[in-house]
């Protein structure tokens, strides 16, 4: 685990380093110290890292909402108190709702009754970014599907395109409906789409996503799917896992142990 | 030339005043939407498009149907349409304008609409739709206006006008194809994920749009004493009937594929629309009304003695327009979201604000159409 964590910190930190390096390169006069060009050999290569998550539904407790509460608090997700205008980044769905095309006939009733964590799948082939007319939602170099809240025109094509219902729209000003303001992530404005960002604001500091660290049951594993030695890859190799709607060819980066 | 639209009788100004009142209502409703947000509509996280996108879809079809006059007149030299080609072109202009207003009304951040041009994204169908719709509006406005201007001066239109008109013919097919592609390329929305969507859009567009053109010729005959003649109307009726028949055929193929293959995901939306799904059946009466009215209307238009009877022709045209408006302007969009990606069944009901904005945009389109047609008729009758 500690080996894995060191590896994780090294990778997550790269993005931050590269960002700082680029800024210094653009404005040499403002650089705090001379640019060390050897650092640029580690510049982010698109597709080199692919962040992914493995949800162990056996460990996830039915009525626990620790990860949801923590995520929604850290990201200033509003609560309007009704489902119509709901904004959600991570939530629990019934087994048959999360996996509507999975076999359910004569299935173990305990499995059918499980509540499954659902969030953005950060697909390798995301239909949402393809539908976006302004590149406001896009796939980052590390596989995270991100949103530029300042560019989004609120056309909601990405919502229609997402086959997982992972995206929420700000149907009204979210700010008055944030229970407790957090300074860990910016608030959004009315009229833009938002969703889980795999905690890119934490990854850049070398921290694991908020949901992962908040889970007392260790049901969530986060790591680089492109690294065959990462813990998540070892667990994927050792367990029978599922992705949501694999038949659509979106290649989700969120996996489930049933 | 547009000054001719400022000269009219009492009936004309009453109609314009009525439209202005409806526009005012729409503007005030839109102001409310701008203040509070799109939450004032019936749309929500699950049904994230509603009346606005549905009207947009229907009206792209109306715009495209101008080609049903332009094509036979300019490519096949069907002189019978000479008096009303301009009606088709101006109908296309006002319909395309309404389409753009409906898109704008549906946007969460209309202040950022120019981002579509600032960050052109060819992988997005919306980008192409904005391109072709704007192009189509200007093609029709410029060519229609130029031909009319030449007619007023009693000269032949400039040669470049012909070029624009010829370009507008395939362009008409493209606008509705691209509109279908907005929907038909989305994975996980099974009502839309069908190759027959674009052909079906074209068929329903040419049926409803042509029926609207026939109705406009009757209105012009009554209120402006401008008679396009019985012959072009009957030719349009034949075009409309076959397009309507094709539309019904395509709907039938959708039913066959969904229900014979028996794949649940393919059946769900159709079940929701026509039979109800898990106790949710808000659109069932609408869809059956649409289907039955559509069949009867197409039947009347297909029968030569019936379509020669003006009362039957008018009734059939109204029936066909209403049928396709329900099918395309309601069912197709609302039904496409049910069930949701997480298998929930959520019903959608537009709010008063949403309906007011919708009526306001329709009134803007009708006002533009009224003024354009007023100008055209003034030129044609040499008032």
The 3-state DSSP composition of chain B as helix, strand, coil percent (nearest 5) reads 75, 0, 20
Is residue A89 very low, low, confident or very high in pLDDT (cuts 50, 70, 90)? Answer: very high
Cβ separation B341–A164 shorter than 8 A: yes
Is A177 touching B (CB cutoff 8 A)?
A: no
Is residue A42 very low, low, confident or very high in pLDDT (cuts 50, 70, 90)? Answer: low
Burial class (CB in 10 A: 0-12, 13-18, 19+), A37: exposed
Residue A228 DSSP one-character state: T
Rounded to the nearest angstrom, the minimum Cα separation between B191 and chain A is 12
| Percent share of chain B, pLDDT over 70 | 100
Residue A21 has pLDDT above 90, yes or no: no
Minimal CA–CA distance to A250: which of A121, A98, A154? A121
Supply angle C-alpha B154, B155, B158, rounded to 5. 145
Rounded to the nearest angstrom, the minimum Cα separation between A78 and chain B is 14
Is residue A12 very low, low, confident or very high in pLDDT (cuts 50, 70, 90)? Answer: low
Is residue A39 very low, low, confident or very high in pLDDT (cuts 50, 70, 90)? Answer: low
Residue A16 has pLDDT above 60, yes or no: no
Cβ separation B343–A96 shorter than 8 A: yes
> What is the reported pLDDT for B2?
82
Supply angle C-alpha B310, B312, B317, rounded to 5. 95
Tokens at A244, concatenated? 């949501």
Crossing angle of the two packed helices B284-302 and B264-274, in degrees rounded to 10:
80
CB count in 10 Å sphere of residue A221: 23
> What is the reported pLDDT for A1?
44
> B199-257: per-residue pLDDT in tens?
999 999 999 999 999 999 999 999 988 888 899 999 999 999 999 999 999 999 999 99
Minimal CA–CA distance to A173: which of B39, B27, B32, B29? B39
Minimal CA–CA distance to A53: which of A145, A162, A149? A145
Q: Which residues 7-36 of A have a C-beta within 8 angstroms of B?
A: none
Residue B277 has pLDDT above 90, yes or no: yes
Please answer whether residues B210 and B239 qualify as being in contact, where contact means their C-beta atoms are separated by less than 8 angstroms.
yes
Number of alpha helices (DSSP H) and beta strands (DSSP E) in chain A: 9, 10
Rounded to the nearest angstrom, the minimum Cα separation between B326 and chain A is 21
Is B34 touching A (CB cutoff 8 A)?
A: no
Is residue B337 very low, low, confident or very high in pLDDT (cuts 50, 70, 90)? Answer: very high
Nearest CA in chain A to B189: A163
CA distance A251 to B25: 48
Cβ separation B107–A153 shorter than 8 A: yes
> What is the reported pLDDT for A61?
83
CA A139 to chain centre: 12
* DSSP class per residue in B240-271: HHHHHHHHHHHHHHHHHHHHHHT-HHHHHHHH
Cβ separation B124–A157 shorter than 8 A: yes
Cβ separation A153–B45 shorter than 8 A: no
Q: Select B2-380's CATH number: 3.30.590.20, 1.10.10.10, 1.20.1630.10, 3.50.50.60.
A: 1.20.1630.10
Is B106 touching A (CB cutoff 8 A)?
A: yes
> What is the reported pLDDT for B257?
96
Nearest CA in chain A to B188: A163
CA distance B171 to B135: 8
Better-scored residue on pLDDT, A250 or A24:
A250
Residue B278 has pLDDT above 70, yes or no: yes
Chains A, B: CB contacts within 8 A come to 140
Q: Which residues 184-223 of A have a C-beta within 8 angstroms of B?
A: 190-193
Rounded to the nearest angstrom, the minimum Cα separation between A133 and chain B is 5
Q: What is the ipTM of this complex?
A: 0.91
Domain extents in chain A:
1-44, 48-257
> What is the reported pLDDT for A8?
65
Calculate mean pLDDT across residues A109-115.
93
CA distance A98 to A117: 8
Minimal CA–CA distance to B161: which of B137, B136, B175, B140? B140
| Percent share of chain A, pLDDT over 70 | 83
Question: What is the bridge-based pairing of β-strands A193-194 and A168-169?
Answer: antiparallel
> B313-325: per-residue pLDDT in tens?
999 999 999 999 9
Question: What average pLDDT is seen over chain B?
Answer: 94
Calculate mean pLDDT across residues A223-251.
96
> What is the reported pLDDT for B276?
94
> A124-165: per-residue pLDDT in tens?
999 999 999 999 999 999 999 999 999 999 999 999 999 999
Please answer whether residues A53 and A222 qualify as being in contact, where contact means their C-beta atoms are separated by less than 8 angstroms.
yes
Minimal CA–CA distance to B66: which of B50, B45, B89, B43? B89
Query: ω into residue B339 within 30 of 0, thus cis?
Result: yes
Calculate mean pLDDT across residues B163-184.
94
Lowest-pLDDT choice from A60-64, B167-171, B173-177 = A60-64
Lowest-pLDDT choice from A27-31, A89-93, B156-160 = A27-31
Crossing angle of the two packed helices B51-64 and B352-380, in degrees rounded to 10:
20
A48-257 domain in CATH 1.20.1250.20?
no
> B78-132: per-residue pLDDT in tens?
888 888 899 999 999 999 999 999 999 999 999 999 999 999 999 999 999 999 9
Cβ separation B48–A156 shorter than 8 A: yes
Calculate mean pLDDT across residues B62-90.
89
Residue A183 has pLDDT above 50, yes or no: yes
Is A64 touching B (CB cutoff 8 A)?
A: no
Crossing angle of the two packed helices B230-261 and B264-274, in degrees rounded to 10:
130
């Amino acid at each position: 685990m500690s080996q894995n964590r060191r590896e994780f910190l090294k990778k997550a930190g790269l993005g931050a380093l590269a960002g700082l390096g680029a800024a210094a390169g653009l404005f040499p006069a403002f650089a705090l110290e001379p640019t060390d060009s050897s650092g640029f050999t580690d510049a982010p290569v698109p597709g080199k890292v692919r962040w992914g998550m493995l949800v162990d539904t056996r460990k996830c407790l039915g009525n626990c909402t620790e990860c949801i509460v923590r995520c929604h608090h850290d990201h200033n997700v509003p609560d309007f108190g009704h489902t119509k205008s709901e904004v959600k980044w991570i939530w629990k769905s019934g087994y048959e709702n999360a996996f509507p095309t999975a076999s359910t006939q004569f299935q173990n009733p305990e499995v059918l009754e499980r509540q499954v964590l659902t969030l953005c799948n950060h697909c390798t082939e995301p239909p949402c970014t393809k539908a976006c007319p302004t590149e406001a939602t896009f796939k980052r170099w590390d596989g995270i599907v991100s949103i530029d809240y300042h560019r989004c025109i609120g056309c909601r094509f990405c919502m229609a395109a997402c086959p997982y219902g992972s995206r929420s729209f700000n149907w009204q000003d979210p700010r008055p409906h944030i229970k407790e303001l957090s300074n860990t992530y910016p608030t959004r404005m009315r009229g833009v789409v938002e969703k889980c960002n795999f905690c890119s604001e934490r990854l850049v500091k070398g921290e694991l996503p908020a949901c992962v660290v908040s889970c007392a049951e260790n049901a969530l594993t986060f790591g680089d799917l492109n690294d065959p030695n990462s813990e998540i890859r070892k667990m994927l190799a050792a367990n029978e896992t599922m992705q949501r709607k694999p038949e659509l060819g979106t290649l989700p980066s969120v996996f489930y142990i049933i | 030339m547009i000054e001719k639209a400022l000269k009219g009788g009492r009936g004309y100004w009453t109609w314009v005043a009525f439209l202005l009142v409806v526009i005012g209502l729409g503007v005030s409703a839109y102001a409310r939407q701008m203040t509070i947000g799109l939450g004032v509509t019936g749309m929500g996280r699950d049904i994230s498009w509603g009346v606005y996108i549905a009207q947009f879809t229907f009206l792209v079809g109306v715009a495209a149907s101008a080609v049903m006059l332009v094509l036979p007149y300019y490519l096949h030299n069907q002189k019978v349409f000479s008096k009303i080609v301009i009606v088709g072109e101006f109908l296309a202009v006002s319909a395309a304008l309404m389409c753009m207003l409906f898109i704008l009304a549906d946007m969460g951040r209309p202040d950022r609409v120019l981002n579509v041009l600032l960050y052109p994204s060819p992988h997005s169908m919306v980008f192409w739709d904005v391109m072709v719709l704007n192009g189509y509006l200007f093609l029709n406005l410029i060519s229609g206006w130029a031909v009319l201007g030449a007619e007023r001066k009693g000269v032949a239109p400039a040669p470049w006008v012909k070029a624009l008109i010829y370009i507008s013919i395939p362009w008409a097919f493209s606008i509705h194809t691209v509109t279908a592609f907005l929907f038909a390329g989305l994975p996980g929305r099974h009502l839309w994920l069908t190759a027959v969507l674009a052909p079906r859009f074209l068929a329903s567009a040419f049926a409803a749009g042509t029926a609207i053109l026939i109705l406009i010729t009757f209105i012009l005959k009554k209120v402006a004493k401008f008679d396009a003649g019985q012959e072009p109307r009957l030719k349009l009726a034949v075009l409309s009937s076959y397009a309507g028949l094709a539309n019904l055929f395509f709907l039938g193929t959708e039913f066959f594929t969904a229900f014979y293959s028996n794949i649940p995901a393919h059946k769900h939306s159709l079940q929701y629309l026509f039979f109800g799904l898990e106790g949710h059946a808000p659109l069932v009466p609408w869809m059956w009304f649409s289907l039955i009215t559509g069949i009867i209307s197409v039947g009347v238009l297909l029968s030569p003695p019936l379509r020669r009877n003006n009362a039957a022709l008018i009734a059939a045209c109204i029936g066909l327009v209403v049928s396709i408006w329900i099918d395309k302007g309601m069912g197709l969009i609302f039904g496409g979201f049910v069930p949701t990606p997480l298998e929930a069944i959520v019903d959608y009901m537009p709010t008063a604000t949403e309906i007011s904005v919708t009526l306001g945009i329709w009134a803007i389109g009708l006002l533009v159409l009224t003024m354009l047609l007023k100008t055209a008729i003034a030129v044609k009758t040499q008032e």
